[in-house]
């Protein structure tokens, strides 16, 4: 029996060409694995048939939409994960899901090698290979675009010479990756930092400057950090993201244009749109402000940053990330309640909060009638709190 290679298959030019190329160069049979993460676009069955038509001996399509939402997007929401305080890890979250399905297929089909279509400039090569190394360390990895300088021009010529069933005439000026958590766009004229994105860059969001309709106000209910209802209607995590993608996207929420520090050491201009992710994170952060004690909240913000960096850097399966997961899970035990959001003009704005787990005490906070805060205690507290600084200042002023 010939050796088998499991290929992470997207259905596009590069991975379609890779099927035949790997077979010709190595003599191995290729098993194509496509993972549905709610990316939309082409029908997954069409993608499966294309893989077979391009020479794959087997083609697997995995519906991982709920798995992705529950096992990857939800932890990111509970971590309020925003790399560089802005990017909600759209692509970074999807790679470990794909890695799990590649590892599963490799075991099922007896493959000795896994292949992917990443280049040597990006983060995804790290995410795929480090993840595979953690799950199936004995597998070999091949990356034709990186390891054999497989350019787009070579791929087009290869496809045309072999009459592969893919359209190579319509070339998008952009490189696009998308899933239900969001959409990432790069390359083309966006590589010039002075160029503003044009409207054809976007697909998940409407132009907020051109939207003059009424705001959309909604209420998100959380139970232990999990969004469980919108406007009183029960939703799964996947349904919550999908509904907010539509409603927040209609108001231009979630557009990001940033210069990002890649893991490989270069800066890259990236345009993202993640309406559902940004709306959910905005609501979740505010509910935490109401329900999480001050010192826990302060430390959690440090954990959030490190968690996001680990995921961005391809270390989803690392011991540190797993340990931080345990901390984050514990932090969510009291994060229950409702947040009212207003979606309009490109922004998701919190307009109301309520929770049975609230640490906000009206009678302590008010300056009006009914104030129960004992202000007589404050003078001594201030003196003791500032005592170390006062002593140090006296010492320093002697010189």
Catalytic residue among 14, 36, 177, 313: 14
119 is in an annotated binding site: yes
Q: What is the residue-wise DSSP string for 33-68?
A: EEEESS--SS-HHHHHHHHHHTT-SEEEEEE-HHHH
**By the 8 A CB rule, do 268 and 253 touch?**
no
Does 158 show up as a binding residue in the annotation? no
Does 279 carry a binding-site annotation? no
Paired tokens of 150: 């497989």
Is 67 assigned a ligand-binding role in the annotation? Answer: no
Residues 6+ apart with CB under 8 A from 118: 124, 125, 128, 143, 145, 146
CA distance 219 to 168: 45
Angle between the N-to-C axes of helices 294-312 and 90-109, in degrees from 0 to 180, rounded to the nearest 10:
60
Is 372 labeled as ligand-binding?
A: no
- State yes or no: 329 annotated in a binding site: no
**Element holding 380 (H helix, E strand):** helix 378-385
Flag whether 91 is marked binding: no
**Whether residue 124 lies in the annotated active site:** yes
Is residue 223 within a helix (H) or strand (E), and if so which, with residue range?
Answer: strand 216-223
Task: Report whether 131 belongs to an annotated binding site.
Answer: no
Task: Establish whether 331 is a catalytic residue.
Answer: no
Q: How far is CA 215 from CA 112, 208, 341, in A?
A: 54, 11, 10
**Pick the catalytic residue: 4, 94, 124, 334?**
124
Active site residue 255: no
Q: Is 46 annotated as a binding residue?
A: no
Residue among 152, 172, 175, 223 flagged as catalytic = 175
The answer to whether 60 and 51 have CB atoms below 8 angstroms apart is no
- Strand pairing class (233-234; 267-273): unpaired
354 by DSSP, 3-state: which? Answer: strand
User: Residue 268: in which H helix or E strand, if any?
Assistant: strand 267-273
State yes or no: 38 annotated in a binding site: no
Q: Which of 48, 65, 95, 100 is catalytic?
A: 95
Q: Is 172 annotated as belonging to a binding site?
A: no
Do the annotations mark residue 11 as ligand-binding?
yes
- How many of the other CB atoms lie within 10 Å of CB of 381? 9
Whether 352 has a binding-site annotation, put simply, is no
Q: Is 15 annotated as a binding residue?
A: yes
Decide if 63 is catalytic. no
**Residues 61, 39: Cα–Cα separation, whole Å:** 13
Binding-site positions for L-aspartate: 119, 123-124
Catalytic residue numbers?
14, 95, 124, 175
Binding-site positions for ATP: 8-16, 117
Binding-site positions for L-citrulline: 87, 123, 127, 175, 260, 272
Binding-site positions: 8-16, 87, 117, 119, 123-124, 127, 175, 260, 272
């Amino acid at each position: 029996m010939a050796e088998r290679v499991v290929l992470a298959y997207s259905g596009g030019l590069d991975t379609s060409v890779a099927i035949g190329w790997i077979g010709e160069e190595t003599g191995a049979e290729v098993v194509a694995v496509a993972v549905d993460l709610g990316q939309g676009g082409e029908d997954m069955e069409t993608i499966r048939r294309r893989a077979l038509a391009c020479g794959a001996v087997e083609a697997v399509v995995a519906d991982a939409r709920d798995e992705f939402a529950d096992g990857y997007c939800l932890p990111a929401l509970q971590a309020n994960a925003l790399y560089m305080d802005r990017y909600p890890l759209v692509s970074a979250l999807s790679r470990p899901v794909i890695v799990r399905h590649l590892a599963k297929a490799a075991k099922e089909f007896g493959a000795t090698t896994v292949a992917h279509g990443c280049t040597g400039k990006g983060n995804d090569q790290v995410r795929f290979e480090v993840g595979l190394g953690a799950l199936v360390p004995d597998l070999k990895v091949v990356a034709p675009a990186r390891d054999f300088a497989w350019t787009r021009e070579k791929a087009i010529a290869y496809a045309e010479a072999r009459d592969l069933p893919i359209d190579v005439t319509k070339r998008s000026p952009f490189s696009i990756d998308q899933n239900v958590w969001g959409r990432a766009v790069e390359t083309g004229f966006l590589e010039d930092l002075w160029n503003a994105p044009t409207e054809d860059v976007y697909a998940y969001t409407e132009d907020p400057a051109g939207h003059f309709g009424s705001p959309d106000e909604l209420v998100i209910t959380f139970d232990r950090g999990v969004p469980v209802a919108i406007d009183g209607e029960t939703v799964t995590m996947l349904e919550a993201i999908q509904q907010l993608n539509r409603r927040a996207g209609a108001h231009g929420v979630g557009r990001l244009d940033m210069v990002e520090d890649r893991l490989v050491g270069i800066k890259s201009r990236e345009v993202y749109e993640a309406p559902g992710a940004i709306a959910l994170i905005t609501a979740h952060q505010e509910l935490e402000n109401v329900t999480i004690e001050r010192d826990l909240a302060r430390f959690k913000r440090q954990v959030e940053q490190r968690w996001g960096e680990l995921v961005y850097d391809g270390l989803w399966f690392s011991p540190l990330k797993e340990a931080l997961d345990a901390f984050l899970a514990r932090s969510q035990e009291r994060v229950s309640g409702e947040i009212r959001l207003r979606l309009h003009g490109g922004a998701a704005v919190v307009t109301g909060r309520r929770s049975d787990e609230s640490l906000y005490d009206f009678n302590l906070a008010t300056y009006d009638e009914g104030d129960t805060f004992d202000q007589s205690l404050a003078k001594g507290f201030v003196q003791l709190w500032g005592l170390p600084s006062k002593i140090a200042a006296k010492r320093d002023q002697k010189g």
